[in-house]
Structure 1
């Protein structure tokens, strides 16, 4: 064993085997069997479509609220119009496509 001030380096590794102690003080309560359903791909895809449609609708709502806020604080209208022309068109198209796809799959 080397002494480096407060730090000690050991040359040996403990060879004492670990012996687990029985936990006699624990009690196990009866739990109901787990509810397992077979995987349903249609249900999972429907859930993903629904979340995507909601996410894109919220994104469009946030953009609209931000636009109203910018108008209220007196942002330059021409600058704001240029930005919105770049953002609203694609986001609106995504929202329309996602909701149409979601509700179109519901009709089947």
Structure 2
């Protein structure tokens, strides 16, 4: 269900808004809710957007929150000789979804 799901706004480039994410975490904690995880994307289906995984990983580490990456579209960029830095921080995820056929 969506009762415990918190949707974080994106910025003009379709990336998770880090300030909005930080605010949501603080609001949840103030309401005695425990944030369980943050899900970043490594290449969204509609826009190809790649979240700032380094910033999200650092935030999750600081806040003791599970960091998951939906890498179904772009996670394999990490093994490419060029553009691999586009997904820097993916190695800090606690879990990763991957679709090798894409």
Do they fold alike, i.e. is TM over 0.5? Answer: no
Query: Hey, which of these two has a bigger chunk of strand by percent?
Result: 2
Q: TM-score, normalised by structure 1?
A: 0.25
